[in-house]
Amino acid sequence: MRPAEDTVKTVEDDPPATGRGTPRALTLVTGLVVTVAVLALVAMASVALGARPVSFSTVIDAFLAPDGSNDHTVIRELRIPRTLLGIGVGATLGLAGALMQSLTRNPLADPGLLGINEGAALGVTLALGLFGLSDPAVYVWFAFGGAALASAAVYALASAGRSGSSPVRLALAGVAFGMVCTAVASAILRMDAQTFDRMRFWLTGSLAGQTADTLVRLAPFMVAGLVLGLLLARPLNLLALGDDAGRALGVAVNRTRVLTGVAVTLLCGAATAAAGPLWFVGLIVPHAVRAVVGPDQRWVLPYSALAAPVLLLAADVVGRVIARPGEVQVGIVWAVIGAPIFILLARRRRVAAL
């Protein structure tokens, strides 16, 4: 008889050398390259389009030979930091959603739907409204604390009782806890009109108004979360077989869960501190990615981290174009796009395999 462990099949097993596996891997790598190219094009559009359109030749000149003109100043000091921030926020939220869905085995897991973004937003509101801390390098720690508290509270609420946690219970607990966080944050802001005026656009989710200094201060946290999250692809693949099978294959289950929680906290805390609470990014993108590449986290995680900023920047560009000379915040645009897609996902009897 064959040993029991030989019968275990994982998503990491390579297919037989019949020529079928290599073409698929090549196709997926090509898809990553294409996604990077599309992201570069959308980033160029984000720099060129705004309240006042700027030609691509002017954008290139601003990169290569800045002359201090008004257009070059706007591009270098406002639009480039905004675009880079959009790439970072999109990548962090896309990866955070993919990590949460993989770890919880919950197709509805999302930093916004499970209240994590709202917890981080409450932390930032406390820092700004009560303590007057306006330095992103300082209030990002409040965002991390709020995200971690929200994660623990939602999981505890969903796990209470004999039936334990389930996708529906997690979603309900997340929505309820998120509403509580939003209500407390609103109450704090109502006490200080000046803080409310400063944060009202941020609370809807916006990439506007942030400078290169904000990006520099938050980038280390984003990079740390992205690197840690991508390194968890293999253990998350093995945990897809169940805890017992994962342990048999050498996975440290508790350590993997803790590290995934740390990665999600870093990603959501930094993204929320930078752009405010954004819904649906971490929910929709991993769903779409799994429908294309399958359940292998070695592909799901990098694809999610690259596809999410493409969509987020595109939504930001749309918000700037449709309301010239003003703009519609990217959080509003994403809510309009994401809400009907979420309804369709919820109504489907089958979703892409986790």
Q: Which two tokens stand for residue 315?
A: 């939504």
Question: Does residue 3 have a pLDDT over 50?
Answer: no
Burial class (CB in 10 A: 0-12, 13-18, 19+), 15: exposed
Structure confidence by residue, pLDDT tens digits, 255-282: 998 899 899 989 999 999 899 888 889 9
Calculate the CA 213 to chain-centre distance: 21
Which residues fall within 8 angstroms of residue 256, CB to CB, at 6 or more apart? 232, 235, 236, 239, 246
- 259 vs 256: CA distance, rounded Å: 5
Instruction: Please give the average per-residue pLDDT across 5-28, as a whole number.
Output: 57
Instruction: Assess contact for 111 and 97: CB atoms under 8 A.
Output: yes
Which residues fall within 8 angstroms of residue 267, CB to CB, at 6 or more apart? 92, 93, 95, 96, 99, 111, 222, 225, 226, 229
Burial class (CB in 10 A: 0-12, 13-18, 19+), 189: buried
- 13 vs 35: CA distance, rounded Å: 26
**CATH topology (fold) of 85-347:** ABC transporter involved in vitamin B12 uptake, BtuC (1.10.3470)
Instruction: Please report, in angstroms and rounded to a whole number, the separation of the first and last CA atoms in the chain.
Output: 31
Structure confidence at residue 2 as a pLDDT band (50, 70, 90)? very low
Quote the mean pLDDT of the chain: 85
Task: Give the rounded percent of residues in the chain with a pLDDT score beyond 70.
Answer: 90
Highest mean pLDDT among 122-126, 214-218, 307-311, 326-330: 307-311
Question: Does residue 228 have a pLDDT over 90?
Answer: yes
Burial class (CB in 10 A: 0-12, 13-18, 19+), 16: exposed
pLDDT at 19: 42
| Domain span(s) for CATH 1.10.3470.10 in the chain | 85-347
pLDDT at 29: 95
pLDDT at 83: 95
Structure confidence at residue 155 as a pLDDT band (50, 70, 90)? confident
pTM of the model: 0.86
